[in-house]
């Protein structure tokens, strides 16, 4: 009967201790195998972790270098952007100023063109008046020649009217030439002002210098011509008033070429 009955309280039935011991051995073997596998996995994991840490360290260093390069690039881009924006602003302001100047010159040019048109209309009116006066003078001259035979008093009166007609014709010619010369001077002075405005640029000044000088000389010559024509017409008018004859002729005008 020795060892044939269950050993209470460790056995409920015979063989439980042996079975538990066998299971314990099996579990120990499984535990040993699991520890070996764990050590192998741990070693492999450490190797992989070391490799990954090296790669991570290298990646971090490369990232730092790339970040520095990116920062430099951003700084350079910001500098270039600020420079470009400043140049854009300056160019915009310069363009605005040029447009304003161009508009002023355009307005001035239109104003002078209108003035020239008005002067031309006045010239045409004066010319028509002159032609009418000239025709009237011719008719009256024929009548006066007939009346001279009848009366010396009437002849003197006709002579006086003839003098007035000649003075009127000379005055008309003088005013017509004055309007033409003044229109030429006004147009030339407008061109001169435009050239001087354009020559304010340092790059354009040497190129426009000779043109400005030419226009100034032209204006000076036309003004001298204006004074000369006015003086000669006044002289002719005085001669006619003093009884001179054959003074009804136009003063010779020198046509100066435009620069």
**Within a domain: 32:** no
Confidence band (pLDDT; 50, 70, 90) for 31? very high
Angle (nearest 5°) at CA 230 between 226 and 231: 115
Q: What percent of the chain has pLDDT over 70?
A: 91
Q: What is the pLDDT of residues 137-175, one digit of tens each?
A: 888 888 888 888 877 777 678 788 888 888 899 889 989
C-alpha torsion angle, residues 74, 78, 84, 89 (rounded to 10): 160
- CA dist 177 and 253 (Å) reads 9
**Within a domain: 223:** yes
Which residues span the domain enclosing 192?
A: 159-242
Residue 34, pLDDT > 90, answer: yes
Q: What is the pLDDT of residues 88-104, one digit of tens each?
A: 999 999 999 999 999 99
Q: What is the pLDDT of residues 191-248, one digit of tens each?
A: 988 888 887 765 666 777 888 888 889 999 999 998 998 998 898 888 888 877 777 7
**Within a domain: 60:** no
The pLDDT score that the predictor gives to residue 242 is 84
The pLDDT score that the predictor gives to residue 29 is 92
Return mean pLDDT, the chain: 86
Residue 1, pLDDT > 60, answer: no
What are the residues whose beta carbons fall under 8 Å from the beta carbon of 188, sequence distance 6 or more? 215, 218, 219, 222, 258
Higher pLDDT, 27 or 10: 27
The pLDDT score that the predictor gives to residue 210 is 83
**Within a domain: 206:** yes
The pLDDT score that the predictor gives to residue 256 is 78
**Within a domain: 189:** yes
Q: What is the pLDDT of residues 40-55, one digit of tens each?
A: 998 998 899 989 999 9
**Within a domain: 208:** yes
| Total domains, the chain | 1
Q: What is the average pLDDT across 24-51?
A: 91
The pLDDT score that the predictor gives to residue 160 is 83
**Within a domain: 88:** no
Confidence band (pLDDT; 50, 70, 90) for 2? low
**Within a domain: 194:** yes
Model pTM? 0.39
199 touches 205 (CB < 8 A): yes
The pLDDT score that the predictor gives to residue 204 is 61
């Amino acid at each position: 009967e020795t060892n044939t009955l269950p050993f209470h309280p460790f056995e409920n039935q015979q063989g439980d201790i042996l079975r538990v011991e066998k299971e314990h051995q099996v579990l120990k073997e499984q535990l040993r195998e699991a520890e070996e596998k764990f050590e192998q996995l741990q070693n492999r994991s450490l190797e992989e972790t070391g490799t990954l840490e090296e790669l991570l360290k290298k990646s971090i260093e490369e990232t730092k270098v790339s970040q520095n390069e990116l920062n430099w690039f951003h700084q350079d881009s910001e500098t270039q952007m600020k420079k470009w924006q400043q140049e854009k602003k300056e160019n915009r302001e310069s363009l605005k100023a040029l447009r304003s100047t161009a508009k002023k010159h355009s307005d001035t040019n239109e104003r002078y063109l209108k003035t020239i048109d008005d002067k031309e209309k006045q010239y045409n009116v004066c010319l028509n008046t002159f032609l009418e006066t000239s025709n009237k003078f011719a008719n009256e001259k024929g009548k006066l020649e007939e009346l001279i035979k009848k009366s010396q008093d009437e002849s003197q009166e006709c002579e006086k009217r003839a003098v007035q007609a000649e003075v009127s014709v000379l005055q008309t010619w003088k005013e017509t030439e004055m309007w033409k010369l003044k229109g030429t001077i006004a147009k030339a002075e407008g061109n001169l002002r435009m050239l001087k405005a354009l020559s304010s640029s340092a790059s354009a000044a040497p190129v426009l210098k000779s043109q400005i000088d030419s226009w100034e000389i032209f204006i000076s010559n036309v003004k001298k011509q204006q004074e000369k024509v006015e003086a000669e017409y006044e002289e002719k008018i005085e001669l006619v008033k003093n009884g001179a004859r054959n003074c009804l002729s136009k003063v010779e005008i020198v046509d100066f070429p435009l620069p």
